[in-house]
Amino acid sequence: MRLAKFLAGAGVASRRAAEELVRAGRVTIDRVAVTDPARDVEPGVTVALDGRPVEAQPPRVVYALNKPAGVVSTARDPQRRPTVVSLVPDEARLYPVGRLDIDTTGLILLTNDGELAHRLTHPRFEVEKVYRALVANPPVRDRALRQLRAGVQLEEGRTAPAGVRRLRPDTLELTLREGRKRQAKRMCEAVGHPVRRLERIRFGALELGSLRPGEARRLSASEVQALTRVPAV
C-alpha cells in the first residue's frame, strides 16, 4: 500500500495532507526518513510520524446477519444471552448498527466502523428500514393504514410519515425512517393492532434476501457504498 494511503487510512490526515507530511520529511519507515508519498508500505514495517509509531487501521468490515429471535443486539450481554456478534465469524471487533428487539428477527448489520454506524443510524440521515409485521385483530382497515401513514401519537411525540402497505388482512409492511425504540410495535399498537411477529426485511438499499436465520455474510465494497448512497426521492 502507498505510504500516503496508509497514513490516511490510519486516520492521521487526509490523503492530500498525508502527502504533504511525507514530503516535509516528517515520516519514517523503520526509522528511515521517506519523502516519496507513493513509497510502498510492506506488512510488518513500522511507520512513524514525528517519531511516533502510526498504527495501521484494520480494514472496514460490514456483515449482514439474519437475526433469529432470542438473540440480543448488543456486543455483550450481562445476562449471557446469545448476541448478534457471536453469530458472525470474524476476528474484527464488530458491533451492531442500531438495535432490533430480542424477539424481532431479520436484517441487522454489524461493522467495525463507528463512522459508518453513525451515518446509518442517526435520524438526520433518514435511512429507510422496512419491516414486515404480523398483527393481532385482523383485518387491518384502511383507516388504520391512513393513521400509520400520517403519523401516530406516541408518548414522546408524533411519528413521521411512514410507508405502509397491507400485504394480507393481518400482515403489514412498514417503511420507517426514524429509529425510535420499539417504534413499529408501538405504532401498530396505537392503531389497535399489537404486533405478533416482526421481521426487518430491508436496511437502506440492502435486502435481507435469502440469508437464513442465524446466517451472516460479509458485504462487498459496492454493497457498503450503496448503503450510504442517498436514495432517489
Residue type, 33: A
Which CB sits closer to ligand URA, 100 or 120?
Answer: 100
Cβ atoms of residues 73 and 63 within 8 Å: no
104 binds ligand URA (CB under 6 A): yes
Residues 129-148 that bind ligand URA (CB under 6 A): 131
43 C-beta neighbours (distance < 10 Å), count:
6
Q: Is the four-CA dihedral 123, 231, 164, 63 of positive or negative sign?
A: negative
Closest CA to 184 of 202, 213, 159, 156: 159
Q: Strand 129-135 to strand 195-203: parallel, antiparallel, or no bridges (unpaired)?
A: antiparallel
Whether 101 sits among the annotated catalytic residues: the reply is: yes
Q: Per the residue annotation, which of 50, 77, 101, 113 is the catalytic one?
A: 101
- Binding ligand URA (rule: CB under 6 A), the pick from 12, 21, 144, 184 is 184
For residue 141 the three cell numbers come to: 382497515
Q: How far is the CB of 30 from ligand URA (least distance, A)?
A: 50
Q: How far is the CB of 2 from ligand URA (least distance, A)?
A: 42
Stretch that binds ligand URA, among 8-16, 41-49, 181-189, 203-211 (CB under 6 A): 181-189
3-state SS class at 83? strand
- Binding ligand URA (rule: CB under 6 A), the pick from 26, 56, 101, 134 is 101
> Under the rule (CB under 6 A), what is the footprint of ligand URA?
100-101, 104, 131, 182-185, 198
Q: Which are the catalytic amino acids?
A: 101
